[in-house]
Chains A and B, each alone.
Chain A
Amino acid sequence: MTEAEIKTTIIAGLYQIAPEADFEELLPTENIREELDIDSFDFLNFLIGLDDKLKVEIPESDYEKLISMNDLIGYLQERLS
């Protein structure tokens, strides 16, 4: 899976939660949860959605590594390779 495909999957998942957000505006290093106002309930559902699509189950201990878009893409690339 390419980086672009992973990013598309992430954005599709975020769109489910924050359909009003402008994803063009989201910088790759910004804190996604803060920028998009995603609470812990939505974040868990977002990760469940990623597991559905990518078959990557993210352990709770890794949550703190997943702050920005760059973090998410890097983490998923590593887990998918």
Chain B
Amino acid sequence: MADFIMPSLGADMTSGMLVSWLVEEGDQVKVGDIVAEVETAKGVFEVETFNGGVVGKILVQPGDAEIAVGTVLATIGEESAVVAVVDAPTERLRVSPAARRLADENHIDLSQVEATGAQGAISLADVEGLIAAAAASPPVRNAPKKESAVDFKMGMRQAIAAAMSLSNREIPHYYLATDIDMGRSLSWLEEQNRQRSIRERLLPVVLPLKAVALAIAKVPELNAHWVDGQLQLKSAVHIGFAITLRGGGLITPALHNVDQLNLDQLMAAMSDLISRTRSGKLRGSEMTDAGITVTGLGDLGVRTVYGVIYPPQVALVGLGKISEQPWAENGLLGVRPVLTATLAADHRASDGHLGGQFLDALNKFLQEPEAL
């Protein structure tokens, strides 16, 4: 039997709430089946199993308690099978997000806090207790809070803050930019869309998305995770795609196997992903398996995007607004639709030379849109 654990759905997640089980003890499941729903600061996610077999003992029931990442929620597998190897939760303190926040604000060393929460996690009450004791005053009791839009927005902000602080603290970023003549790509796209019904139209962003997927094949060092001081290359091309949410915040779920999709399939996958992101129906794996992220702020008037890498990834591609610019080529001056593409990359994982090769490849692929 293998353990089904509370997954980490991103660098910013230390714990989550179990919202519901979608299976019961004794159910037959296969790899990839959705077995539970988990809520984090970024919303509710469907979580798949990485093991097939029979659902054994369900150890944790849905509830309001924060459950630390790595906690065993259930066992899944063949009764007779050898115990599967499960990533052991790293030996770090289990701390609820609220407790970590409060401790940070009050400069409290978490290793000094006595944990009384579930599975030995440090709860908000533990930190509050310590603060109260230090102040020699009775602990303040928090009334149970109801989840509201404001709370969700604050939670989202905190989650982004945690991931981005980690990024800027640990990742030595370097930045490269290049201007790309989008004339061929846009003419080709216009012609394609003219022949299509409105439901089959492609948005311009699918062209650079596909081009990023193809360019990665030439510079695989950028499609990777940096874990424990080592570069782990990704064999599949899953691209995180920054999607803004109304009411604030953003999520960067993964588009899967972008290198293998044609533009119609990519457009469909992107529409599906945006819709599910905005309606809160993402899968857990979509939050963690991207090897690189693309962010396009082109709908605003932004020309150049200086990105912050989403750890443990090692690169982020920024796409600015396509706008008409003076363009000199072969001794002639003209006007072209120009896209400024930027690369923010982790200097531990790659060098500017490789980054330059990536942007060069990106440019070349966008000059041959019919081959995308």
Contact = CB atoms under 8 A, between A and B. Distances in A.
A18 interface: yes
A12 interface: no
B199 A48 contact: yes
A28 to B, nearest CB: 23
A48 B198 contact: yes
Contact of B194 (A39, A44, A48, A60): A60
A40 B204 contact: yes
Given A18-B246, A39-B244, A41-B274, A57 B198 contact: yes
Contact of B197 (A18, A20, A37, A57): A57
B334 interface: no
Contact of A51 (B198, B270, B271): B198
B198 A40 contact: no
B179 interface: no
B247 A60 contact: no
A58 interface: yes
A60 B201 contact: yes
B299 interface: yes
Interface residues of B, number: 17
Contacts of A59: 194
Nearest to B274: A41
Contacts of B271: 41
B203 interface: yes
Interface string A27-39: 0000000000101
A40 B203 contact: yes
A58 B198 CA distance: 7
Contacts of A6: none
A60 B244 CA distance: 24
A47 interface: yes
A32 B197 CA distance: 24
B243 to A, nearest CB: 9
A33 to B, nearest CB: 8
A29 to B, nearest CB: 20
A20 B247 contact: yes
B246 A60 contact: no
Interface of B: 190, 193-194, 197-199, 201, 203-205, 244, 246-247, 270-271, 274, 299
Q: Closest 7 interchain pairs by CB?
A: A39-B299, A60-B193, A57-B198, A40-B203, A41-B274, A51-B198, A48-B198
Given A18-B246, A48-B198, A57-B198, 18 more contacts: A37-B246, A39-B299, A40-B203, A40-B204, A40-B205, A41-B203, A41-B270, A41-B271, A41-B274, A44-B198, A44-B201, A48-B199, A51-B198, A59-B194, A60-B190, A60-B194, A60-B201, A61-B190
